[in-house]
Chain A
């Protein structure tokens, strides 16, 4: 039995805007096991990044966690004071962002920024911290690390900057690394380098990773477990095989149909009809039902409960509920 390191229970995060309150994350629950890679996938506005930011408590000023618990090794970090949070960030859980250019400070050298993180969270100071910075840069495959620590972010390429970000995030050996679209801004061949690096570091250091991305390819490549989000809610969660080979939620099915596939290259894509959801104007029932071709009456009225599918993964879709009930009935009449 693997050890659960982070447990998110019924997390709700909302933002107050001029146009009203926006529920960006609405009842998200999941468990992250030690040493596993968890993928959160969804389109823009699905709440995947906000989920990550809520865990780190780095939301914009107008946003706050309204409900729910985030248990890190059994402790609810939503109740932490700012001081406790500061110790949590970096040391226990760190995050890397999409754009490595804007997340590094342009007026400080790479070494300076790496040292700052190390000195803040560990006993290493001065020369020792610098040695650690060089060691981290070597670990993430930055060539000539002694020279690099004297350079500024603008002197490095996008891939190199992302490596520096990863080095910084891992410098204090956190238990969890959150990667928010870590390769979206990078080219394909550089993306492959970074993904390979993250996988090898994960094996070497054994941290758990939460991978937030919209790219189903990256998710398939990297993740053990996957959460599919739509309109701030979890549609479906399960292992990579469950999600890709046995999708239960209509949204997941639609998403998988709409990406080009080498096996069906001559065939037409089947797009998900309609337009993305407006979080200010959420439907009463299932968030996806305005775009769902198989929507039933109940989908409009009520949010579907999360049910466990026969293969063990979870989906929140009335159609799966219906299917399960029919199967049970069928099994009952056979007896």
Chain B
């Protein structure tokens, strides 16, 4: 952790050179580090949505969890509202930083009623003075996410997937947060229900001014909801830009192939478009290539890519890219 990093007051959340290594047993009492997140930096303004995309195993979920100190970061700085996030300060900050999880089936306790699920954050942070106030708050939250208040005494299994996700969102909203991490929050839902939940996220943002870190692998959804998008590959951010700009003119070869690989729901466009097919698979994060992690699948790779890892450099308009050749 570097003490000399000065947070920018303009940002609600600022992450600088975040590292999250997990020790993996390699036999004979030895451990080797799995570099799940290796030097990630980004910042989110109040009321802004930053999309975080990447393939499975690229560390996007880990970034979200490290931000909330669900894992203790190996290195780097996290600031919320200009204040350093560490083990002590996070206790009071969790009220302002909440999370919505991917699986609406496993993230809700089956033995609790909806009322208790949504009320738990209120209990933990002691956000009410009387039982009546607690109940009013819960009913208000249920209304906010479009749940029928009459269903407060039901259990999670009595709801459909989309409704359960609404319960999860109501729980996240209970403490009146300024920042919510949505970890694949719509991935498990059917298309027609997904649109309902996406619209709700947007309405809540307009109404309450919440900033989102929207982690997902569906690029169309991320493009739709995000102001800016960060693309991750093997624990590092390779490109970060305004959502429209990233989609219109991606610079990093990985982003280019990722965008070209998205199956587009339009038969004519799908037939006209040229897919950039990447060779091979993502390397194991235990045996990361030297230098740029993407070089093993990159057609532009040179000697320099193997020697040194490129850092994010600004290409104008806040469009940052980490690539030697582009």
Contacts and interface: CB of A to CB of B under 8 A. Distances in A.
Interface of A: 43-44, 157, 159-160, 187-193, 195-196, 214-221, 240-241, 244-245, 254-262, 265, 268-273, 275-276, 291
Contacts of A221: 263-264, 267, 270
A258 B281 contact: no
Contacts of A218: 263
Contacts of B260: 192
B246 to A, nearest CB: 12
B195 A258 contact: yes
A271 B278 contact: no
Contact of A195 (B163, B195, B217, B263): B263
A218 B261 CA distance: 10
B195 A262 contact: no
B176 interface: no
A214 B55 CA distance: 20
Interface stretch (B15-23, B83-91, B218-226): B218-226
A242 B264 CA distance: 16
Contacts of A191: 261, 263
Contacts of A254: 192
A190 B281 contact: yes
Given A217-B263, A220-B264, A188 B224 contact: no
A157 B281 contact: yes
B202 A220 contact: no
B277 interface: yes
B196 interface: yes
B220 A188 contact: no
Closest 7 CB pairs of A and B: A217-B263, A271-B195, A258-B195, A272-B192, A260-B224, A192-B261, A187-B55
Interface residues of B, number: 43
A283 B76 CA distance: 57
Interface of B: 55-56, 160-163, 190-196, 198-199, 202, 217, 219-221, 223-224, 243-244, 247, 257-258, 260-270, 275, 277-278, 281-282
B266 to A, nearest CB: 6
A220 B281 contact: no
Contacts of A193: 277-278
A259 B198 CA distance: 10
B263 A276 contact: no
Consensus secondary structure, chain A interface = helix
A157 B278 CA distance: 15
A4 B161 CA distance: 39
B263 A275 contact: no
Contacts, number: 130
Contact of B275 (A187, A192, A256): A192
Contacts of B202: 268
A244 B271 CA distance: 14
Contacts of A187: 55-56, 217, 282
Contacts of A291: 192
B193 A276 contact: yes
10 contacts: A188-B261, A192-B275, A217-B264, A220-B269, A240-B267, A261-B265, A271-B195, A271-B199, A272-B196, A276-B193
B160 A220 contact: no
Given A190-B281, A215-B263, A44 B190 contact: yes
A258 B192 contact: yes
B191 A255 contact: yes
B257 A262 contact: no
Contact of B199 (A188, A265, A268): A268
Given A157-B281, A193-B277, A220-B266, A275 B191 contact: no
Nearest to B200: A271
Given A189-B258, A241-B267, A259 B281 contact: no
Contacts of A44: 190
Contact of A214 (B161, B191, B269, B282): B191
Contacts of A269: 195, 198-199, 224
Nearest to B269: A220
Contacts of B257: 189
A268 B10 CA distance: 28
A193 B261 CA distance: 9
A219 B260 CA distance: 16
B260 to A, nearest CB: 8
Contact of B191 (A188, A241, A258, A273): A258
B267 A220 contact: yes
A189 B263 contact: no
Nearest to B196: A271
A16 B45 CA distance: 54
Nearest to B270: A221
Given A191-B263, A217-B264, A258 B224 contact: no
A214 B282 CA distance: 25
A192 B277 contact: yes
A295 to B, nearest CB: 16
A238 B257 CA distance: 31
A272 B189 CA distance: 13
Nearest to B243: A265
Nearest to A193: B277
A265 B265 contact: no
Given A159-B281, A244-B265, A273-B196, 8 more contacts: A192-B277, A195-B263, A244-B267, A260-B198, A260-B224, A262-B223, A268-B202, A269-B224
B278 A189 contact: yes
Contacts of B221: 260
A259 B221 CA distance: 8
